[in-house]
Structure 1
């Protein structure tokens, strides 16, 4: 179903709702008449493609495809649309692009970190976008913001001449963002939260869920939430060394156990950040099922 969420912005929600995608992935068409920009084509589902194409008015066509990040619920449809329409795909890079030195070293080391959930390993953009770049297509101008954290290649797009930010999976109102190493990086994520705060945005249009109407307040709350989780993890390790599967049930006692595997990935992200800061140590080699303790 197509919904107009702002002047010149149409939202189409994919039929892929679930515990990690909420009501489904949201694709956005930007522009009115002529050449339009599509942000996040979404999953490779015929029904969703038909909905996107059905949202186009007579005389309108998709002239460029932008992707916030290479996850299977955001990027796969870009391939067939690009091939069939003959339009380029723009993104920061393939999955893994933009990793911090720490995360790249961990990935290269073969450390048993797990991860890789939902990564679109086949994704490769035609055009790579840089942080701060101004993307222009017809009357649409989008400022590119590299916001690594949820994934190292994650981008947000600020619609010039408005107070809107297309926030992808970086900031969403319905849930906190999954950060799953080595593609996810909590150190980078916290910096990226601060990057989009206090920039004059009045609304975030996220990859899942309703528009965020008071984004600075939500971002501040999410920063505080992550810092609170850090304190909980350090407190859990104060008594004795523990594995992640011993920490999660304690600090996520109020969360549906079906979501504990995702919570474990977030705890690992926190622990890697704490190890890098010298606050926590672990047995070598570093691994997701290892024992962690206070330094």
Structure 2
């Protein structure tokens, strides 16, 4: 699978993707956000904004300038991470547009001892005016959007399909530059894989993600992404069948040449796969250990 890391974005630049769709990238580049968060303005006479982005004054002013005098009918939010949703509240005050889309942040499972703190990632202040469910249709800004629920990266993650355009605003669910981080307890790997399968049943021809470049052949990319995840899972299980291993040891084996800044994210991804394998009865923690994992279920282990 080929990732596109050649994408460049200048903060404050308004880029027309096609008539009626503009992209504005926030000035928040980093190892988890690539060149920054992509906000999208859809429409001409009336507008819809998708993913307002982080709480950043410069990005706020760029968005308001791009909106200009056109009515902003809605602020749509794909999910409630702090690089996507916090500016919604501020822009609602400035424009009067309702905040619509993902529900308030929820975790995929309860916190457990040893879980990483996710306070820096989660927008707990997000307060939508309307929560949309899978299959809902929203008419706003002179366009019609179909809601595609894609839990996995977060439990409340949504994509938005633009009727008549073949375009899907894919948030952090599918991105051209990288795999999506699945970080328990915030995310869930089984849900993520099921959501990828859901997208493969659709006929969208263009993905506009929350970070990085557009995807012009999205279904082939999603197929490759699914295969990549399943290959990673098979490699983890194969390693556990040879030895009992910690997550740190699995990261060393699975991620050759890993950027040290991404080691924590890689560990969370491995944990997500391990929790999925545990739910399937294919992996478990060693009795009395919080750090070592082995192949096989607890029930199988107890019969040894």
Report whether the alignment pairs 1:194 with 2:197.
Answer: yes
Does 2:48 align with 1:46? no
Q: Counterparts of 1:214 and 1:138 in 2: how far apart (Å)? A: 27
Match of residue 37 from structure 1: 48
- Specify whether residues 123 and 274 from structure 1 end up closer, same or farther in structure 2 by C-alpha distance, changes over 3 A only: same
Take 2:237 and 2:33, find their aligned partners in 1: how far apart are those partners? 30
Instruction: Give the alignment's TM-score, normalised by structure 1.
Output: 0.92
Q: 1:70 aligns with which of 75, 80, 84?
A: 80
Q: Per-residue deviation at 1:124?
A: 2.0
Number of the residue aligned with 1:223 = 226
Runs ≥4 residues deviating over 4 A: 283-286
Alignment partner of 1:272 is 2:283: no
Using the alignment, how far apart are the partners of 1:184 and 1:231 within structure 2? Answer: 20
Task: Tell me what 2:21 maps to.
Answer: 9
Is 1:82 aligned to 2:92, yes or no?
yes
TM superposition score normalised by structure 2 = 0.89
Aligned-residue CA RMSD in angstroms? 1.6
What is the CA distance between 1:230 and its match in structure 2? Answer: 0.5
Whether contact under 8 Å (1:115, 1:180) holds in the other structure is no
Match of 2:136 in 1: 133
Could you say which residue in structure 2 is the equivalent of 1:124? Answer: 127
**Structure 1 unaligned spans of 5+:** none
Structure 1 distance, partners of 2:288, 2:72, is: 48
With over 3 angstroms needed to count, the CA separation of the structure-2 counterparts of 1:244 and 1:51, relative to structure 1, is same
Contact 1:111 1:285 in 2 (8 A): no
Q: Is the 8 A contact 1:69 1:153 kept in 2?
A: yes
8 Å contact from structure 1 (residues 29, 39) kept in 2? yes
Shift of 1:140: 1.2
Q: CA deviation at 1:187?
A: 0.2
Cα displacement (A) at 1:92: 2.4
Say if 1:115 and 1:182, in contact at 8 Å, map to a contact too. no
**Aligned-residue offset at 1:155:** 0.4
Q: Deviations over 1:161-215 (max 9, x none)?
A: 1110000000000000000011110000000011111411111000000100100
Question: How far off is 1:284 after superposition?
Answer: 6.4
What SS does the aligned partner of 1:55 have?
helix
For residues 113 and 191 of structure 2, the distance between their equivalents in structure 1, rounded to whole angstroms, comes to 20
C-alpha distance in 1 between matches for 2:72 and 2:95:
8
Deviates more, 1:141-150 or 1:87-96: 87-96
Does the Cα contact within 8 Å between 1:198 and 1:216 map onto a contact in 2? Answer: no
Assess if the C-alpha contact under 8 Å between 2:74 and 2:141 holds in 1: no
Structure-1 separation of matches of 2:129 and 2:288? 38
Equivalent pairs, count: 283
C-alpha displacement at 1:9, in angstroms?
0.6
1:60–1:94: structure 2 CA closer, same or farther, 3 Å change rule? same
Structure 2 Cα separation of the partners of residues 292 and 15 of structure 1: 40
Residue 23 (structure 1) aligned to one of 21, 24, 35: 35
Which deviations, in whole Å up to 9, do the C-alpha atoms of 1:101-142 show, x marking residues without a partner? xx43x33xx443225251112212111111000011141110
What is aligned with 2:153?
Answer: 150
Q: Which runs of 5+ in 2 are unaligned?
A: 1-12, 297-304
Deviation at 1:88?
Answer: 1.2
